[in-house]
Amino acid sequence: MTTDELYEEHKGIIYHCAQSFRPTKDLSLDDYISIGNLAFTKCAPKYKSDSGAFSTFLYICVKHAIITAINKNKKNQVKSLEGQKPFYSNPRPFTDYISDTNMSDIQKEIVYMIMEGYNGKEIQESLGIDKKEYKKQKSKIALILKRQTRDN
């Protein structure tokens, strides 16, 4: 199947994913669709058929691209901290700790979204989970991280 055929077959997923995000004053639905189309062009060549359905892979790629764009937009609106000393000095990035754990995919997604500045309600809506499940996953994440920092 050519890339054009693949796009035609799955462009509805891009639109559906883009619609799931609330437009901001700087990013509209059209912007989200454009971001989704760019994500498609980047992720389509990376897809391996033995790793699951392309539609699921595409949805995750598009969702991540839109979230990244929203966060970059938020960061551009915050005053610059350039030139200031960091309040901590960690020789190892936090994302390295996450990849070393035995967290589930949803737990990793929660951690990344928290790191990107999303609040609990936004995370719940984005991941399609209720408040009870969100709190349960956060508790499990805390235990995993506590165990890992104790062991290191």
* pLDDT tens digits for range 34-85: 999 998 988 888 878 776 788 888 888 899 999 888 888 776 654 444 555 5
Alpha helices in 3-130 (DSSP H): 3-19, 29-43, 54-77, 94-100, 105-115, 120-127
**In which band, very low, low, confident or very high, does the pLDDT at 20 lie, cut at 50, 70 and 90?**
confident
Q: Which amino acid is at 105?
A: D
**Is 90 exceeded by the pLDDT of residue 136?**
yes
Give the pLDDT of residue 52: 77
Work out the percent of the chain whose per-residue pLDDT is above 70.
78
Give the pLDDT of residue 98: 60
CATH 1.10.1740 for the 1-81 domain, yes or no = yes
Of 99, 80, 95, 100, which is closest to residue 151 (Cα–Cα)? Answer: 100
Mean pLDDT of 114-142: 88
